[in-house]
Amino acid sequence: MTLRVDHEIIKILEQHAKKNNISINSLMNQIFHDYVDWHMQASAGGFIYFKKSLLATLIDKVDEKDIPKLAAEDIESEKKQTLYMLRKKSNLDVAIDVFETWLKASGVEYSKDIDTNNDVYTLAIHLGMNKKSSLLIAEICHYLFESLGANKVEYETTTTMAIVRIFSKMPKSRYFP
- Average pLDDT of the residues in 89-105: 91
Percentage of the chain exceeding pLDDT 70: 95
Q: How many domains does the chain have?
A: 2
Q: Is residue 174 part of a domain?
A: no
Domain hosting residue 119, numbered range = 52-167
What pLDDT was estimated at residue 25? 92
Residue 177: is its pLDDT beyond 90?
Answer: no
Q: CATH number for the domain including 127? A: 3.90.1520.10
What pLDDT was estimated at residue 172? 59
**Could you report the per-residue pLDDT of 5-42, keeping only the tens digit for each?**
899 999 999 999 999 999 999 999 999 999 998 999 88
**Could you report the per-residue pLDDT of 113-162, keeping only the tens digit for each?**
988 888 899 999 999 899 999 999 999 999 999 999 899 999 999 999 99
What pLDDT was estimated at residue 134? 95
Strands 120-126, 161-167: parallel, antiparallel or unpaired by DSSP?
antiparallel
Give the span between the Cα atoms of 2 and 22, in whole angstroms. Answer: 22
Average pLDDT score over the chain = 90
Q: Is residue 172 part of a domain?
A: no
Report the SS3 class of residue 123. strand
What pLDDT was estimated at residue 137? 95
As beta bridge partners, residue 126 has 109, 161
CB 53 within 8 A of CB 106: no
* pTM metric for this prediction: 0.85
Q: Is residue 155 part of a domain?
A: yes
Give the span between the Cα atoms of 69 and 113, in whole angstroms. Answer: 28
Give the span between the Cα atoms of 58 and 91, in whole angstroms. Answer: 30
Residues 103 and 142 in one domain: yes
